[in-house]
Amino acid sequence: MSSSLARLLQLLSGGFSNQSQAFDNPPLYAHILVKFRPLPQLAPGSLLLEQSYAISPGTPYRIRVLRAERRDGALIIHNQALQDEQRFWGAIEDEGRRRNIGDADLMPLEGCTYVVREVGDGFVGEVEPGCRCLVERKGSVAYLVSSFEIDARGMRTIDRGHDPATHEQLWGSLAGPFEFERTDDYRAELPSAWLET
């Protein structure tokens, strides 16, 4: 029997694409690629996240280091940006460059931790309460309301930005979640020690 943290790490460690959704619903959904890959040299539960538009996989729009852990019986995923992140473009496909990512490169994104719970045979995560995950888009600051669901088949995500004063939605999907199918499986790269806790 593996722990829920181990199962979350195993489900996350993969590649995902919403190709079918994007092809069926242009222009509502861009075609996006998401990959999560273990970073064994960092603290247990650390995964490199890369998100890119399928039309330009070499210039990802978001690179982060996530760290999943159990805290007070609950599962959470910390979100960290990378100093000078362009240094790590392409690292998702290059083990040598992934290994160069060190603790000194990480910048915690306060307020942007996901709180995750087990639902059915998968997990659901939502940005922590408090409206503290502040992001800027086109010159306006918004707080992020984001959730994801993951299971053996794939992942569904929804990101929205809201005005910190009025709580009005400023941007984000009106049409519903991005629906990703699993394209790659990187669970074999998880250190066995991470799965024993």
Q: State the residues that interact with ligand CYC by CB under 6 A.
A: 30, 32, 49, 51, 62, 64, 66, 79, 109, 112, 114, 133, 135, 137, 144, 146, 148, 157, 159, 171-173
CB of 113 to ligand CYC, least distance (A): 9
CB of 142 to ligand CYC, least distance (A): 7
Task: Give the CA angle between residues 13, 197, 183 to the nearest 5°.
Answer: 10
In angstroms and rounded to an integer, the radius of gyration of the C-alpha atoms of the chain is 16
Residue 164 vs 172, nearer CB to ligand CYC: 172
Dist. CA 169–CA 165, nearest whole Å: 11
CB of 116 to ligand CYC, least distance (A): 9
- Measured in whole angstroms, the distance separating CA 112 from the mean position of its chain's CA atoms is 11
Residue 76 vs 144, nearer CB to ligand CYC: 144
Dist. CA 35–CA 15, nearest whole Å: 4
Dist. CA 131–CA 115, nearest whole Å: 13
Residue 88 vs 148, nearer CB to ligand CYC: 148
Q: Of all residues in the chain, what percent are helix, strand and coil, respectively (each to 5)?
A: 20, 45, 35
CB of 163 to ligand CYC, least distance (A): 14
- Neighbouring CB atoms inside 10 A of 58's CB total 8
> Nearest to ligand CYC by Cβ — which residue?
135
Residue 44 vs 144, nearer CB to ligand CYC: 144
Beta bridge partners, 182, equal 16
Residues 36/186, Cβ–Cβ less than 8 Å: yes
Dist. CA 49–CA 38, nearest whole Å: 9
CB of 56 to ligand CYC, least distance (A): 13
Residue 140 vs 196, nearer CB to ligand CYC: 140
CB of 33 to ligand CYC, least distance (A): 10
Residue 88 vs 114, nearer CB to ligand CYC: 114
- The residue type of 176 is G
